[in-house]
Chains A and B, each alone.
Chain A
Amino acid sequence: DAGVTQSPTHLIKTRGQQVTLRCSPKSGHDTVSWYQQALGQGPQFIFQYYEEEERQRGNFPDRFSGHQFPNYSSELNVNALLLGDSALYLCASSPGHDTDTQYFGPGTRLTVL
């Protein structure tokens, strides 16, 4: 049984560009949450998707957007990249929206130059 998978593993972009990160949840999970983890910090909640809708959002600007597909996989899009967007982006999935049972993927390391 595959756990949470994320792609790509690493990504390098330049300021002003746009990026799309992808996540496939653990089998049987229908809720996906995205977190940003800056170097030396704990993860920060970006938003959560359930039934293809954004249910909750953390303190992130509108440049951060997402999507959930009928198969529960999800994408995180970031527009107009800033240097400060460089971080590890973690996807977590859970059955329903019980975040205390969520499983994290290995993350996508985004570097903005």
Chain B
Amino acid sequence: GQQLNQSPQSMFIQEGEDVSMNCTSSSIFNTWLWYKQDPGEGPVLLIALYKAGELTSNGRLTAQFGITRKDSFLNISASIPSDVGIYFCAGQLVPGGGADGLTFGKGTHLIIQP
């Protein structure tokens, strides 16, 4: 089945720094999604991308859908303590939905030092 390679596995940064993480796939996806998961909670959707080349922002978060449709990146600007958590990329084959489930990466664990 499809696999998503997410990197880095973990990041230790100073508060106020910018963060960048990415996800690559061996297969083409039609939708890329970025989630954040806090301890004891389920993943929360941050950004959804639907078109190759699309660049979308949500506050301090910016994500892009790669031109090849096999990759995506997420940037966080001016990190703050509440950004701590695990960030997951997820891909979906069927545009706009369908019965297929999501394929998730293994996550990037973000740790912020004050």
Q: Indicate, yes or no, whether A interacts with B.
A: yes
* Docked-complex contact B101 and A42, CB < 8 angstroms: no
Q: Give the dominant DSSP class at B's interface.
A: loop
Residues of B near A50 (CB, < 8 A) are 99
The answer to whether A68 has its CB under 8 Å from any CB of chain B is: no
Q: Which of B1-51 contact A (CB under 8 A)?
A: 1, 4, 6, 31, 33, 40-45, 48, 50
**Chain A contacts to B: CB under 8 angstroms:** 4, 33, 35, 40-48, 50, 55-56, 58-59, 90, 92, 94, 96-107
- Other A-B contacts than A42-B104, A106-B40, 15 sampled, CB-CB below 8 A, are A33-B101, A40-B106, A42-B4, A42-B88, A43-B102, A43-B104, A46-B101, A47-B101, A98-B96, A99-B100, A100-B97, A103-B45, A104-B42, A104-B44, A105-B42
**Chain B contacts to A: CB under 8 angstroms:** 1, 4, 6, 31, 33, 40-45, 48, 50, 88, 90, 92, 96-107
Jot down 14 A-B pairs with beta carbons below 8 A, ordered by A.
A41-B107, A42-B90, A45-B102, A45-B103, A48-B99, A48-B101, A56-B100, A97-B97, A97-B98, A99-B92, A100-B31, A100-B48, A100-B50, A107-B41
